[in-house]
Chain A
Amino acid sequence: MPKPLLNIVTKEVKEMMRDPRILLGMVLAPLIIFPLMGFALRTSTEAMQESLRIVPIAVADFDHEIVAQSLTSFLKSVPNVKVEEMEAQSVDEVAVKAQASNVTSVVIIPEGFSNNITTGEKAQLKVYGVFRSGGIGESLTFSAAQSLVEIFRQNLINATVSTGFPDNPNVLDPLAISQESIIKGRPVDVNPSALYSFTQAQAFSLPLALFMLIILAMQLASTSVATEKEEKTLETLMSLPLNRFTLLVGKLAGSTLVAAIGAVATIVGVIYYMGSFAFGTPTQASIDLAAIGLAPSLLSYVILGVSVFVALLSALALAVVISVFAEDVRGAQSLLGFVYMPLLIPMFALMFTDLNTLPFGFQILLLALPFTHPMLAARATITGDYLMPVLGIGYVAVFTLVILYIAARLFATEKILTAKIRLGRKKPKEE
């Protein structure tokens, strides 16, 4: 690396890494906040699971006949269920007792319940949720009670139908349905739902990581230029025997390095955070991508890496161009806020749908944005269709060169010192 460039990159990295706002906000905070969020979620999830270990259900039987007794016995037979038989004269009395106890659901079997079922009439059964805090634990235990009643209903249907067709063992399950996938023109014994949930998890995590990386890098690059303007160090730098393109490249390289450190910290934090949910989705890990022909190749990773790198460069160059028009750091952040949201938000459309299913105009808009292309490259790691990502790299490279050219022109002229977009503030006097 040439000496002046090395000098600038070293200074940039030192300055940024020693800035407590950058160190705390971009490196330490993700390493602390995401694991803390994960810990909080894991703790609450464990508490929810704990609350499901025993499902307390009250049964108020006003019928006392055979089917009603059978329902109570069924509920008692379920291992995690603790049944409290409630004696009362009215539903109102049941409600008072239930609220005072620790049950979360009450099953009320009205008088005539068994008689209606045995005579073919529609029988009423009421399942009450006992509302206390409205928390997830309450909701889950009520759902468990509801499911048990539903199982009892299905058992009643099964018993009735089986009695009508004693010679047909398949009457209750006449269809054997299997769910498999076709991948790259080949039938594969993998449940499509499991495959979709795996690919969708990927489709969510990459845009989020990319979004954070790009925002970080843009903020760093614009702050780097705006701070120089605010502190008037830029004027000093520009009067030095230093090629201004070298100054621009040095700033971009310094911001990229620090953004990469921030991104690694963020990704480590996010991985830990995502790991907090892993125990709930074992199907994702059970898919052997190599066996079903979906394992990403080395080439696909190279394409993805290049695609992310050129998109990142374009973001940095854009941030530098934008910050040229700001007078100070606050102004640069405000200007950036106007720009990066419209640039980045459309790419989230690709989280939910494929590009070719979108209206033509929206497809063109997405393809014109540089940050869409790394997402297409990420999808290509699974599909193996590299044409679009490679064309995308070419497009983003040209886009970046154009922005870099504009940035270099701005750095080479007095525009870097005189160009200003004021956001409602007064113009200072020129001496």
Chain B
Amino acid sequence: MSVAIESVDLVKVFGSIRALDKLTFSVDEGRIYGLIGPNGAGKTTTLRIISTLILPTGGSVRVFGHDVVHEAAEVRKLITYLPEEAGAYKNLSGYEYLQFMGGFNSRDTADLKQMVEDAARISGLGDRLKDRVKGYSKGMKRRLLVARALMNKPKLAVLDEPTSGLDVLHAYHVREIIKQYAKEHKVTILLSSHNMLEVEQLCDQVALVNKGRIIVEGTPSELKSKHKAANLEEVFVEVAGLA
């Protein structure tokens, strides 16, 4: 099994704020890895650096061996990124949005058609894909975006709060999509979340992030047993209090 992500001593400074402080972790290929932590912990900053959107101030990140700074174009061919609270183009239909986004990853028309069909199935939106995105609920929009992030079977999908703000049914559907797709296509998933239950159900490996550092890392069951906690929430409260 190869290493999908390798972050070493990652530092990011915004003005006087040290958002990441020597953040080190690695993710094996085909795993679902969750970053959890309070607001301002540095989760989104980490995901944005891995997605080649912002540059680290120090340290390094490699995605399948490619440096995110010096080989950003190569990294972008391997990943998809779903930002938190991302929107879609509201004057396009769901189908048009998928066709537009798929157009950058597809090899030819047949490949694009297959991608859009896959995305339509993943999203479960059916005929509503013919409607313009501006008429979608938040849950429908998120399902469309998750489908977009997975439609081209990326080697790594970076998902920032994939179920943020969704009701129980939509959140359940999105989690099921992620789990099933990662298993079927061996897609590596790196996600951030506030929802401990979600992380516990979904992730093979979890890292608790606070003040730009990883304070504890392991599988959900390892963490619970190590801290004698009933769930990840209790682990989080304990270690965040100690940090």
Contact = CB atoms under 8 A, between A and B. Distances in A.
Interface string B66-81: 0000000100110111
A18 B92 CA distance: 8
A10 B103 CA distance: 12
B103 A7 contact: yes
A55 B155 CA distance: 88
Interface stretch (A180-188, A202-210, A231-239): A231-239
Nearest to A416: B53
Contacts of A10: 100
B122 to A, nearest CB: 17
Contact of B53 (A230, A417, A431): A417
Interface string A111-142: 00000000000000000000000000000000
A241 B102 CA distance: 11
A21 to B, nearest CB: 11
A151 B91 CA distance: 68
B205 interface: no
Interface stretch (B3-11, B25-33, B36-44, B222-230): B36-44
B19 interface: yes
A121 B87 CA distance: 89
B17 A430 contact: yes
A78 interface: no
A193 interface: no
Contacts of B84: 232, 431
Nearest to B102: A7
B105 interface: yes
Secondary structure dominating the interface of A: helix
Contacts of B96: 11, 14
A3 B80 CA distance: 20
Contact of B40 (A232, A241, A429): A429
Given A3-B103, A430-B17, A431-B42, A240 B76 contact: yes
B196 interface: no
Contacts of A15: 89, 91-92
Given A14-B92, A18-B91, A19-B91, A232 B86 contact: yes
Contacts, number: 95
B83 interface: yes
B53 A241 contact: no
B193 interface: no
A241 B91 contact: no
Q: How large is the interface on A (under 10, 10 to 19, 20 to 34, 35 or more residues)?
A: 20 to 34
A233 B100 contact: no
Contact of A418 (B40, B54, B89): B54
B240 interface: no
Given A413-B55, A430-B17, A236 B40 contact: no
A239 B51 contact: yes
A227 B96 CA distance: 18
A241 B85 CA distance: 22
Contact of B86 (A3, A14, A233, A242): A233
Contacts of A242: 76, 104
B43 A431 contact: yes
A430 B48 CA distance: 12
A235 B105 contact: no
B51 A430 contact: no
A11 B132 CA distance: 13
Given A15-B91, A233-B87, A240 B101 contact: yes
Given A14-B91, A418-B54, A241 B76 contact: yes
A413 B104 CA distance: 20
Contact of B45 (A14, A230, A236, A431): A431
Given A14-B96, A235-B48, A414-B55, A240 B89 contact: no
A293 interface: no
A7 B112 CA distance: 13
A236 B105 contact: no
A418 B86 CA distance: 16
B40 A240 contact: no
Given A232-B87, A241-B73, A241-B77, 13 more contacts: A3-B103, A14-B91, A15-B89, A232-B83, A232-B86, A233-B89, A236-B86, A238-B52, A242-B76, A242-B104, A430-B40, A430-B44, A431-B42
Interface of B: 14, 17, 19, 39-45, 48, 51-55, 73, 76-77, 79-92, 96, 100-101, 103-105, 132, 145, 148, 158
Interface of A: 3-4, 7, 10-11, 14-15, 18-19, 230-233, 235-236, 238-242, 413-414, 417-418, 429-431
**For the complex of A and B, 7 pairs with smallest distance between CB atoms:** A231-B87, A431-B44, A239-B81, A18-B91, A414-B54, A7-B103, A232-B86
6 contacts: A4-B103, A4-B104, A231-B89, A238-B52, A430-B44, A430-B45
